[in-house]
Structure 1
């Protein structure tokens, strides 16, 4: 299976039959923040506010925010997520139900990473943010040639609630 990297920018379909059967108005236009190659973390280092936190909840949120900025969204430790947080970056259980129709997290992420220029071997982990849709930070192993070594890649893709298609944002070898 091929995975999301390089080449011409193209949106991936969740379900081709859904689009054919639906006579509804097209709601798939890309948002400005969904341009290919745009990484919202580039050039933005997290700096804690100068004033001390008001309470333990605010302190926990600051630690969590620093934690996900350090990995640029690709590796969020479940123990760092504040218990009171209702939104934000969370780890995805790749084997649990994730999206209709009956897709697991792994199935959904493979659709997001399919039909590109490297060959997907397996998904390592996924962190998502499901606030206004699904923004997924996918870490996976891929081969750059049929006999090549496995290389760890990072891809970011997003589908907002009003959009029908998944929009790949970037795909690159993992930063060391």
Structure 2
């Protein structure tokens, strides 16, 4: 269904944040100053910069909230120029600020390919719409609104046994109203039929 359908998150795969960052630097900077003699620091040091710790899901509570954006200072010495490091930094900041709704491979978050075929559905997009509608229903029940999903525009995923979906969709807040971008987060637990709705909210405006 997706390019990482059978993959686990970075931490579950046993790959440390340090190894992921070094690999990312090598991809972005072929002339990187990183080499076998460089002191990358210990895994325990990097643990403070690891993927976000997961908490028990709760409706209308974003697990990304309350976390501080930080990058290990050692990353700077891996880049041969400030320009390349700034590009890396800005990409990391953008991913952090989007709270899972854009791909972020260093945190084990990957794009979902919406137009692929899926058993029981015309496409993966239809399955994502079904999951997002679980959140829309919860949103309407708890807030007394009449939000209606129109179409899914993108989705990202994280995990396997605990499968977290971050779905961006267009919706109408009232009948015949204008299209508004919304976000839904839903969790599918292995062996549990019904998905768990976590979030349904209007997408933040750029710069806010």
Fold conserved between structures, TM > 0.5: yes
Instruction: Give 1:67 shift.
Output: 4.3
Match of 1:23 in 2: none
Match of 2:129 in 1: 110
- Within-5 A mapping of 1:1-176: 33-52=56-75, 66-76=93-103, 81=105, 88-98=108-118, 101=120, 104-114=123-133, 116=137, 117=140, 118-176=147-205
Match of 1:73, SS? coil
Match of 1:145, SS? coil
- The structure carrying a bigger helix percent of its residues is 2
Match of 2:127, SS? helix
Match of 2:33 in 1: none
- The structure carrying a bigger strand percent of its residues is 1
How many pairs align? Answer: 136
CA distance in 1, matches of 2:62, 2:191: 22
CA distance in 2, matches of 1:125, 1:65: 19
CA distance in 2, matches of 1:163, 1:32: 18
Structure 2 unmatched runs, 5+ = 1-53, 80-84, 141-146
The RMSD of aligned alpha carbons is 3.0
Match of 1:139, SS? strand
Match of 1:27 in 2: none
Q: Is the alpha carbon distance of 1:167 and 1:62 closer, same or farther for their aligned partners in structure 2, counting shifts above 3 Å?
A: farther
Deviations 1:75-128 (A, max 9, x none): 22xxx74xxx7x811111111135x54563212111112262311111111011
Q: Is the alpha carbon distance of 1:131 and 1:69 closer, same or farther for their aligned partners in structure 2, counting shifts above 3 Å?
A: farther
Q: Is the 8 Å Cα contact of residues 138 and 154 (structure 1) preserved in structure 2?
A: yes
Structure 1 unmatched runs, 5+ = 1-30
CA distance in 2, matches of 1:74, 1:128: 9
Q: Is the alpha carbon distance of 1:71 and 1:32 closer, same or farther for their aligned partners in structure 2, counting shifts above 3 Å?
A: closer
Instruction: Give 1:44 shift.
Output: 1.1
